[in-house]
Amino acid sequence: MSADTHTLPEAGRQGRWQPAVTKDPLLRKHGALGQSISRIEGPMKVQGRTRFAAEFPYDNISYAALAFSTVARGRISELNVSAAEAAPGVILVMTYRNAPRMKAPSLMMSSPTAAGASNLPVMQNDEIHWNGQPIALVLAETQEQADYAASLVTAKYELLPAVTSFDEAKKSPRQLENLLGQPPFVEIGDAEAALANSEVKVDLIYRTPRHNHNAIELHAATIVWNDDELRVHDASQLLDLTTGQLADIFGLDISKVHVTSPYVGGGFGGKCFWDHQILACAAAKLAGRPVRIMLSREGVFRIIGGRTVTEQRVALGARTDGTLNALIHTGTAAMTTHNSCPEQFTFPARHLYGARTFRIGQDVADLDMLANTFMRAPGESVGTFALECALDELAEKLELDPIELRRRIEPEKDPTTGKPFSSRYLIEAYDKGAEQFGWDKRSRTPRQRREGEWLIGMGCATATYPYHRFPGGAARIKLTEDGHVTVSTAVHDMGMGTATAQVQHLAARLGLPLEHVTFEYGDSRLPRGVIAGGSTQTASIGGAIIAATEVFMEELIKLAGNDSPLAGLSLPEVEARDGGLSHVSDSSRFESYQSILQRAGREELVCEAEAPAPAEMEAFSMHSYGAQFCEVRVSTLTGETRVSRFLGSFDAGQILNPKMATSQFKGGIIMGIGLALTEETYFDERTGRIVNASLADYHVPVQMDVPPIEILYTNKPDPQAPMGARGIGEIGITGVGAAVANAVYNATGIRVRDLPVTLDKLM
């Protein structure tokens, strides 16, 4: 690949800003970013002054409850709603027979504006496509009345043949046309032959189960129709897409749909666009009353998809020095024909390690089930389980320390695309983590450390998640007479600190104290935002804010005019500091924002710009990395595994706010401990029904399952990312499953290759 293919194209017409640290003065200013401050909405939250989607009061509000199908595929032959209709407080029962006619949602990623997790029509006919599909919505005067009445709905079905077994479905796999825009298969050289000829090899099958979303806040929405205007209070990570999608489904002009989502009690990929929003809007229309829908916990299991089943093969062929002849990572993920999330578990293998040959790719097996969806690091979380466990097994065969093996296969450039890495300090992350964790105290041979009934072991694994930045996001900057700046964009803060990070960013960029900056978000009427997904939001907003700031500063210079100390200066000659603009080298040439506005006789200055296209992603291989370290104690009496210590050492570019980032990484690791040890959706393969649809039966880690967790950063700004920061929302969970399983092996000598690592597998 020639050097000039790595040159960034000219930035798009939207913004002139180009992602390159050398061009961003803020990133040359040491310490301008990276302060630990508390989340600005934190006090309001703990005081109960923030309203979530199901908390908006309306006169005459009605409450919705759903009844679900009990078969996987068929037609409704009898649907009895008369008992429900006669129950106390019932306003109406909506079924396919009386629901308003609506267009089906469009499948997410089928177009830039589509949002549907599924593209099945919602309550428009008698067809059943999964066990748990809503067959009726009851509206009543109270939630309890609605729930009771929904329990009285009965149905009979004419059954159609259904595929509800993964083993059955994978006999006829479906090839994907593309894997989230990438080719589904990557082959470099003849990997099978190279494997066969390798001196040391492993060839293993790993399995990961279905997982369900269990955010603390249940999926909810409050809906009001004001004449032909649709008002939706949602819990959403894709506000603008939801707005457009609802307009499309109900045949409205997009200006007639107003969606807000200022606070979200956990998203993780699950707070997207599902049937409940559509059904609640339809019911509100039918009843002519405001509707509040809040799914029950069971309801979330029935209609909100999660992570899907995977079966993965990882085969590694090495020379005795550890260098790889062959890296093979293939397999199958369960899916449906009506969803678009293929669980891209083979993505990490494309860029993590060097090898002479590669065979990487996956297909899907279609089942008649609920559409699965994105769930924190979809693909990477379970893909790193297989790949990183296999590397551990290879290291053992090679009699190499697993970190030393990774040092020997560290690539200089992206091994499958040939692109340069924008920034990669994986080995540094390993070294820092190993030292802090006391990795040198790990015994190379398993089953060597014991305290009473407890076997103790250590494991490590690589974490990784791609950098992405979405185009199309815009930011508006408004300066008012009091010197306050408000930046607005229709994005999301689900508790991870979006607003806080961007207040910090803009305050630093404009030389303002934090309290002079407000970040306005969570409202579809604001300038177009990006989704909160794929760990992309911070960089995407950052790009839009940088573009808007440039326009803003240019406008200020113009407004300052000839009587200003700034007269005659151009954008590159000024910098923002102390609440105003200054000549970059002559600090006597300064005028405050307030003074500029006042002299111009203006009450405010408003500027808006869109982020330039993400050219950096074309030119570079951009990923975050990390090294996960785990210590476990496994009981020889019960087989139970207790994670006793955990450390994540991350290389995610500039850390914008270490306090918030630590929290985000810890959250990912805790979710990873669930993935490793407890989380598993039991899916009855006879009926396609989820049988553990409650938090009593589906086990997520609780306080007592969470050990002390330490977080380290390389904190190396990525020269190609806005603010030097790559996303951190998802990487925390990646590699955790493998770090735990590798530690369990080190403790017990037992390799568990199918998650979760439950006690029965260790006895």
C-alpha distances out from residue 247 to 53, 282, 436, Å: 19, 12, 53
Closer of 149 and 733 to ligand MOS (Cβ)? 733
Q: For the CB of residue 104, give the shortest distance to ligand MOS in the complex, in Å.
A: 23
User: Closest approach of Cβ 540 to ligand MOS, in Å?
Assistant: 12
Among candidate residues 637, 639, 625, 644, the one with its CA nearest the CA of residue 743: 644
Where helices occur in 358-486 by DSSP H, the ranges are: 380-398, 402-408, 426-437
Minimum distance, C-beta of residue 257 to ligand MOS, in the bound complex (Å): 23
- Whole-number Å distance between alpha carbons of 677 and 635: 14
Nearer to ligand MOS, 211 or 516 (CB): 211
Q: Does 274 bind ligand MOS (CB under 6 A)?
A: no
Taking CB under 6 A as the binding criterion, the range among 5-13, 287-295, 352-360, 373-381 that sits at the site for ligand MOS is 373-381
DSSP-assigned states of every residue in 13-81: SS----S-GGG-HHHHSTTSS------TTHHHHHTT-S--GGG---TT-EEEEEEE-SSSSEEEEEEE-
Q: Toward ligand MOS, which CB reaches closer, 267 or 331?
A: 267
Nearest distance from residue 383's CB to ligand MOS, in Å? 14
Closest CB to ligand MOS among residues 331, 533: 533
The span from the CA of 358 to the CA of 352, in Å, is: 12
Per-residue x/- marks for ligand MOS, 702-731, CB under 6 A? Answer: ----------------------------x-
* CB closer to ligand MOS, 270 vs 457: 270
Q: In a 3-state reduction of DSSP, which class is residue 311?
A: strand
Q: How far is the CB of 272 from ligand MOS (least distance, A)?
A: 8
The least distance separating ligand MOS from the CB of residue 733, rounded to whole angstroms, comes to 9
Tell me what percent of the chain is helix, strand and coil, each rounded to the nearest 5: 30, 25, 45
Structure token digits, residue 525: 């009427």
Contact indicator for 526, 487 with CB cutoff of 8 Å: no
Tokens 């695309």 belong to residue: 417
What binding mask, one character per residue, do residues 139-178 give for ligand MOS by CB under 6 A, x or -?
Answer: ----------------------------------------
Encoded one letter per residue, x for contact with ligand MOS by CB under 6 A and - for no contact, window 230-269 reads: -------x-----------------------------xxx
Select the residue interacting with ligand MOS from 74, 121, 299, 533 (CB under 6 A): 533
- Nearer to ligand MOS by Cβ, of 385 and 425: the residue is 385
Cα dist from 635 to 88, 539, 606, 620, 695, whole Å: 53, 44, 63, 46, 25
Q: Give the shortest CB-323-to-ligand MOS separation in angstroms.
A: 34
- The CB-of-398 to ligand MOS minimum distance in angstroms stands at 35
376 binds ligand MOS (CB under 6 A): yes
Cα dihedral value 637, 641, 644, 650, nearest 10: 160
**Pair 352, 430: CB distance under 8 Å:** no
Judge whether 517 and 546 are in contact, CB under 8 Å: no
Using the minimum distance from each CB to ligand MOS, give the nearer residue, 511 or 533.
533
Which of these, 618, 626, 479, 467, lies nearest to 540 by C-alpha position?
467
Query: How many angstroms separate the CA atoms of 603 and 584, rounded?
Result: 27
Spatial CA neighbour of 21 closest among 393, 426, 396, 542:
542
Distance between CA 148 and CA 151 in Å, rounded? Answer: 5
Cβ-based nearer residue to ligand MOS, 67 or 220: 220
What residues contact residue 181 under an 8 Å CB cut-off, 6+ apart? none
**Closer residue to ligand MOS (CB): 267 or 466:** 267
CB of 732 to ligand MOS, least distance (A): 12
Residue 641 one-letter amino acid: T
Q: Does residue 198 contact residue 317 with C-beta atoms inside 8 Å?
A: yes
Across-strand partners of 604? Answer: 480
Q: How far is the CB of 342 from ligand MOS (least distance, A)?
A: 13
Using the contact rule CB under 6 A, the part of the chain among 146-154, 371-379, 642-650, 695-703 near ligand MOS is 371-379
Nearer to ligand MOS, 218 or 409 (CB): 218
Q: Answer yes or no whether residue 305 interacts with ligand MOS by CB under 6 A.
A: no
Question: Is 730 a known active-site residue?
Answer: yes
265 vs 688, beta carbon nearer ligand MOS? 265
Strand order in the sheet with 641-651: 449-451, 454-466, 623-635, 641-651, 709-713
Question: Cα-flanking dihedrals φ and ψ of residue 25, to 5°?
Answer: -60, -30
- Which window, 227-235, 312-320, 375-383, 581-589, contacts ligand MOS (CB under 6 A)? 375-383
**Subset of 453-492 contacting ligand MOS (CB under 6 A):** none
# binding residues, ligand MOS (CB under 6 A): 11
**If we measure between CA atoms, which residue out of 33, 38, 13 comes closest to residue 539?**
33
Q: In angstroms, what is the minimal distance from the CB of 376 to ligand MOS? A: 5
* 374 makes contact with ligand MOS (CB under 6 A): yes
Residues 677, 692: Cα–Cα separation, whole Å? 16
Work out which of 534, 667, 724, 737 binds ligand MOS, going by CB under 6 A.
Answer: 534
93 vs 370, which CB is nearer to ligand MOS?
A: 370
Query: Within 10 A of 13 (CB to CB), how many other CB atoms are there?
Result: 9
Which x/- pattern over 729-758 shows residues binding ligand MOS (rule: CB under 6 A)?
Answer: -x----------------------------
Instruction: State which of residues 117, 235, 334, 375 lies at the interface with ligand MOS (CB under 6 A).
Output: 375
- Part in contact with ligand MOS (CB under 6 A); list of ranges 203-211, 324-332, 374-382, 706-714: 374-382
The catalytically annotated residue of 41, 311, 575, 730 is 730
| Ordered DSSP codes for 562-606 | TTSTTTT--GGGEEEETTEEEESS-TTSEEEHHHHHHHTT-SEEE
Q: Which of 34, 132, 134, 378 binds ligand MOS (CB under 6 A)?
A: 378
Task: Give the residue at shortest CB distance from ligand MOS.
Answer: 269
Helix axis angle, 380-398 relative to 658-677, nearest 10°?
Answer: 70
Residue 43's contacts (CB-CB under 8 Å, 6 or more residues apart) are none
C-alpha 647/C-alpha 711 separation (Å) is: 6
User: What is the smallest separation between the CB atom of 52 and ligand MOS, expressed in angstroms?
Assistant: 18
AA letter at 63: Y
Binding site for ligand MOS (CB under 6 A): 237, 267-269, 374-376, 378, 533-534, 730
Which residues are catalytically annotated?
Answer: 730
